[in-house]
């Protein structure tokens, strides 16, 4: 049973000057419920960098009701203390907590909590590394590439010694077998700084594999059109 809850909040993007002014207007009992960014790779990276503990943060989907634009929201208290009422982002309040003189200017956002599902074994979604969210916020289960010698050799360069790669098969029917065959390493088998090294090579070979049940996660959901299902491990015949 899902415990997902949705609420409508009033929000506005506030720059450093505006947020300082807002802080002087609101009382301790009218702090923001959430802060948010509209979804993009760079905005999400900035959001995660502003968090006190990205791995333990509760993430939520955020939708601007007037046009359906999507974003990511986190509880205001998840921000690092020194960035609360300082960081430039969307501040989300209950409508009744917005200062009277600002209410006509603020926008309505719908915020839906994400309830992590139970993870399943074997079935994953594949997402290009270059748009995958920061690993400290949402670590993939595996990192992999197509099972071609040149690419595998590059992948081996960022793995710990004597790591066993797992076969991963795309669950698609419109490609020849050699284009459905991948190899993947568990995230814990990568050396420190592996992501920077892979991205720094400038080649779009690399993919993150997430448990398929995480496809609705706020940090992944905008990319659902890019998902391809795959199964990790030896196939039974």
Domain residue limits at 13: 6-113
Predicted local distance difference test score (pLDDT) of residue 237: 41
Residues 49 and 104 in one domain: yes
Residues 180 and 132 in one domain: yes
Do you know the residue count of the chain?
A: 237
Name which of 133, 156, 120 is nearest 232 in CA terms: 120
* Per-residue model confidence as pLDDT tens digits over 178-188: 999 999 999 99
Predicted local distance difference test score (pLDDT) of residue 164: 87
* Per-residue model confidence as pLDDT tens digits over 104-133: 889 999 999 998 777 667 699 999 999 999
Inside any domain, residue 130: yes
Count of domains observed in the chain? 2
Q: Alpha-carbon torsion 85, 88, 92, 98, what sign?
A: positive
Instruction: Select from 86, 113, 140 the last residue of a domain.
Output: 113
Inside any domain, residue 66: yes
Q: Which residues of the chain have pLDDT under 50?
A: 1, 236-237
Residues 104 and 138 in one domain: no
Inside any domain, residue 220: yes
Inside any domain, residue 168: yes
Predicted local distance difference test score (pLDDT) of residue 20: 87
Residues 56 and 91 in one domain: yes
- Residues 74, 80: contact at Cβ < 8 Å? no
Residues 218 and 128 in one domain: yes
Inside any domain, residue 143: yes
Predicted local distance difference test score (pLDDT) of residue 194: 96
DSSP string covering 19-36: HHHHHHHS-GGG--SEEE
Name which of 78, 110, 107, 85 is nearest 22 in CA terms: 85
Instruction: Select from 113, 147, 175 the last residue of a domain.
Output: 113
236 token code pair: 């039974």
> Cα angle at 27 between 93 and 73, to 5 degrees?
25
Predicted local distance difference test score (pLDDT) of residue 92: 96
DSSP state of 84: T
Inside any domain, residue 118: no
- Residues 218, 60: contact at Cβ < 8 Å? yes
195 token code pair: 């992501």
């Amino acid at each position: 049973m899902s415990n997902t809850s949705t609420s409508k909040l009033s929000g506005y993007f506030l720059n450093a000057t505006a947020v300082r002014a807002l802080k002087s207007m609101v009382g301790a009992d009218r702090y923001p419920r959430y802060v948010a960014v509209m979804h993009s790779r760079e905005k999400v990276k900035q959001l995660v960098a502003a968090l006190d503990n990205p791995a333990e943060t509760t993430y939520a989907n955020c939708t601007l009701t007037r046009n359906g634009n999507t974003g990511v929201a986190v509880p205001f208290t998840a921000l690092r203390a020194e960035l609360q009422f300082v960081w430039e982002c969307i501040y989300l309040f209950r409508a009744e907590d917005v200062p009277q003189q600002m209410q006509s200017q603020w926008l309505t956002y719908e915020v839906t909590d994400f309830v992590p599902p139970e993870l399943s074994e074997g079935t994953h979604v594949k997402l290009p590394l270059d748009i995958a969210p920061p690993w400290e916020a949402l670590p993939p289960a595996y990192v992999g590439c197509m099972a071609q010698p040149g690419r595998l050799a590059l992948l081996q360069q960022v793995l710990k010694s004597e790591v066993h790669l797992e076969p991963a098969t795309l669950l698609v029917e419109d490609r020849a077998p050699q284009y459905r065959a991948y190899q993947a390493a568990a995230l814990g088998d990568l050396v420190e700084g592996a992501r920077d090294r892979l991205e720094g090579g400038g080649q779009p070979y690399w993919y993150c594999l997430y448990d398929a049940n995480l496809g609705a996660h706020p940090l992944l959901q905008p990319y659902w059109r890019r998902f391809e299902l795959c199964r990790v491990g030896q196939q039974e015949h």
